[in-house]
Amino acid sequence: MRVEGWHVMLFLATLLAVAAVIVAVTLVVLWTVRRVRIAAANPPDSATAKPRSATGGPDCGVIAVGHGRRRVRLHDIPYFGRPVRLPWAKRVWRCPDQGCPRMTFAEEHALAGPRAKPTARAVNWATDALQHFDT
Ligand SMILES: [Zn+2]
């Protein structure tokens, strides 16, 4: 088989088209799964959480010691029609009192209750949408 000039041009055009499709698909995927992260200047624990050094157990009041962090991904209200996830490194404390009924406890925030996946405003947004757009 003889390779002619237009064969090379056709091959290069096909290669260019495939590369363009790959770039377009990558951009669409990145655009649709873009996440909004909490800015470091305003983490959720800075608004209402107690200072680290003076956190007492909720049951006994004994000053607790740090026990690491638990990563939580909260579902928040959509932002310009796109889903929003809020990553939160929730602080966990351990009570040093041996007789304490609660061995560990986690940081709480007004935006998300204990073990909550959607934020409080996402729940309000969803119930509001159900009330107004229910058919
Ligand atoms: Zn305790």
Kindly give the distance from the C-alpha atom of residue 111 to the centroid of ligand 1, in angstroms, as a whole number. Answer: 25
Report residue 21's pLDDT band, with 50, 70 and 90 as the boundaries. Answer: confident
Q: Check residue 135 and give its pLDDT.
A: 61
Q: pLDDT exceeding 70 applies to what percent of the chain?
A: 77
Rounded distance between C-alpha atoms, residue 74 and residue 118, angstroms: 5
**Beta partners for residue 85, in sequence order:** 75
| HSE-up of residue 20 (Cα within 13 Å, Cβ side) | 6
Structure-token pair, residue 105: 């406890």
pLDDT digits (tens, 9 = 90+) for 79-127: 999 999 999 999 999 999 999 999 999 998 999 988 999 999 999 999 9
Sheet with 82-94, edge to edge strand ranges: 65-79, 82-94, 104-106
| HSE-up of residue 30 (Cα within 13 Å, Cβ side) | 6
Kindly give the distance from the C-alpha atom of residue 34 to the centroid of ligand 1, in angstroms, as a whole number. Answer: 41
pLDDT digits (tens, 9 = 90+) for 97-110: 999 999 999 998 99
Rounded distance between C-alpha atoms, residue 105 and residue 56, angstroms: 10
Q: Is the pLDDT of residue 40 over 50?
A: no
Q: Check residue 36 and give its pLDDT.
A: 47
Mean pLDDT calculated for residue range 59-80:
93
Q: Check residue 42 and give its pLDDT.
A: 47
Kindly give the distance from the C-alpha atom of residue 104 to the centroid of ligand 1, in angstroms, as a whole number. Answer: 8
